Structure 1
Amino acid sequence: MALNLQEQATRRMRRLVIALVAVVVILGALVVGLVAGSGSSKPDPKGPGAHRAPSSAEPSPTESASDEDSGYVAPQKWVKLPDGKKREKGFPVQFPHTGEGAVSMLVSSSRNSFSWDAKQVEANIRTYMVSSYTERMASAAGQAAQGVREHTGMPGSGPLPKGAKLTAWPIGVQWVEKDADHVSAFVLTRLTTVPGAGKKAKTELISLPSAATWEKGDWRIEPTPPNETQTAPEPGDLGSNQFNRSGWIAIQEGDRR
């Protein structure tokens, strides 16, 4: 019975991964490291840093770690990401042609990728996806929104429970500047779901591999080819030892858009 439940959970996780990767989420790889909590994989022995090389491992759900167990631990590194010069349909665009500019775009996209609203997911895709993938990804926006619904315990279709709320909050980043026009990155997002009015919120930490390319004067999301799939570093919440051990760089509050 336990094995059957585990297999069902694994299938649900894979469906969510496929839906998110097939559409948006940061779309930096065809396999997403979707991990709740502190994770079980070992951090990269090369150590933390903004230019940390990606590692490879299978994504796996784990229990969430509590900062109350060891007290608050200040992040060792912070980054102030640049703003986009303009906004289109509520999304910041025209980021600086720098590594930080690419990461800022990916962070902005991640805030809108986890959504129960297919229209919001599609708008996010059309704003940030490279042109060669825009239409095919946009056509799967409904699938992605459904995947997020199912993963967070919501009905796959129809009305949501009264008082239900979903918040995606990027809290950390890592990146590698391959050249002036291509950046590989990881974005650590805190996903909080309120199942309905009066119900307890559920929080997950999700590490996502991603890639950005400079196209037509701005940064765009580009899916990673299957032979270059990467698994994100072990997640850890702000204020935890794991956040620093995994090499995450905290995002300054002023960058929340």
Structure 2
Amino acid sequence: MSTPSQIAAQAARTRRRLYLAAGLVLLLLAVAGGWFLGRGASDPVEEAPAAPEPSPTSQADGFELLDGGELSQGLPVRFPHTPQGAVSATVHGLHAQSTNDARALAEVLSTYHRADYDAGDIEEGILADRALEMRLNQPDGSDFDMDDFPSPASYHYITPVAVWWQEQDADTVEVAVLADMEASDGAAVVVEGRYIFGRTLVWDEGTRGGDWVVDAVTDPTRTGTRPRPEEYELDHPSWTPIIITGADEGS
């Protein structure tokens, strides 16, 4: 008979796999709608824009990205218990996903998200999403095998350029991040575009003695109410450009 701890561990794994599988379904819907990575979003949209209104706490000259108070496996952690800390944790966590290495991605998600992940979760979730993205953007006549992805020459870069945030309460912050993305299978397929990430950050006293963690993923680019083309532009009033200074430069 399974012990209570074994049952809890199995339930946690099941939730992770359901979350990752749901991400794949959302990706399929996004591609079918013709607006993945901000592409093809020029069709008329009758629904309200998904990108948020200007942040009530946006900084006039830009958002100054904070570094964490310490490093964990080379990743900045222990951010201030402030909205700026929550936004900075989100940006660092997204930028750190600029890899196709399953173990590295599992470490990143386990560090910045509430749940824990292993390489198998990543292979069935994020890397399966990225392989599908490659296949759907495969040039005519090119050879791409999803089973061979990722190859050592493949890459996936996420470069956050602007943010929006709204404090729900002292321990909850809604964050949106506008990012440039470039990905390739290392051969014939290259995908480039803009993407809007959405995250709900919560303050968790039990994580590293107190830190921000991702509690929910709410990417506007993958939701039913798609952003308008202008909402992918850096000069849209929703966005506050990211300013990297001091110790964050070159990270």
TM-score, with structure 1 as normaliser: 0.63
Counterpart for residue 221 of structure 1 = 214
Structure 2 counterparts to residues 245-256 of structure 1, below 5 A: 245=236, 247-254=238-245, 255=248
Structure with higher RCO (Cα < 8 A, 6+ apart)? 1
Q: Check whether the contact 1:17–1:34 (CA below 8 A) recurs between aligned residues.
A: no
Q: Provide closer, same or farther for how the CA distance between residues 184 and 160 of structure 1 changes in structure 2, counting only shifts above 3 A.
A: closer
Aligned length: 200
Give the aligned residue type for 1:148: R
| 1:90 and 2:71 are equivalent in the alignment | no
Structure 2: runs of 5+ lacking an equivalent: 1-19, 28-34, 136-143
Secondary structure class of the residue paired with 2:148: coil
Counterpart for residue 152 of structure 1 = 134
Give the aligned residue type for 1:210: R
Structure 2 counterparts to residues 1-257 of structure 1, below 5 A: 18-19=23-24, 34-37=36-39, 39-40=41-42, 41=45, 48-51=53-56, 77-113=61-97, 115-130=99-114, 133-134=115-116, 140-143=121-124, 144-153=126-135, 155-158=145-148, 160=150, 163-196=153-186, 201-216=190-205, 217-223=210-216, 233-234=227-228, 242-245=233-236, 247-254=238-245, 255=248, 257=251
Deviations 1:88-122 (A, max 9, x none): 11111000111010011111111133542221221
Compare CA radii of gyration and give the structure with the larger one: 2
Q: Provide closer, same or farther for how the CA distance between residues 82 and 235 of structure 1 changes in structure 2, counting only shifts above 3 A.
A: farther
Q: Check whether the contact 2:134–2:190 (CA below 8 A) recurs between aligned residues.
A: no
Q: Provide closer, same or farther for how the CA distance between residues 21 and 104 of structure 1 changes in structure 2, counting only shifts above 3 A.
A: farther
Q: Provide closer, same or farther for how the CA distance between residues 125 and 45 of structure 1 changes in structure 2, counting only shifts above 3 A.
A: closer
Q: Check whether the contact 1:176–1:183 (CA below 8 A) recurs between aligned residues.
A: yes
> How far apart are 1:84 and its partner, in Å?
0.3
Aligned-residue CA RMSD (Å): 3.8
Q: C-alpha distance in 1, partners of 2:152/2:176? A: 34
Q: C-alpha distance in 1, partners of 2:111/2:156? A: 21
Q: Check whether the contact 1:168–1:189 (CA below 8 A) recurs between aligned residues.
A: yes
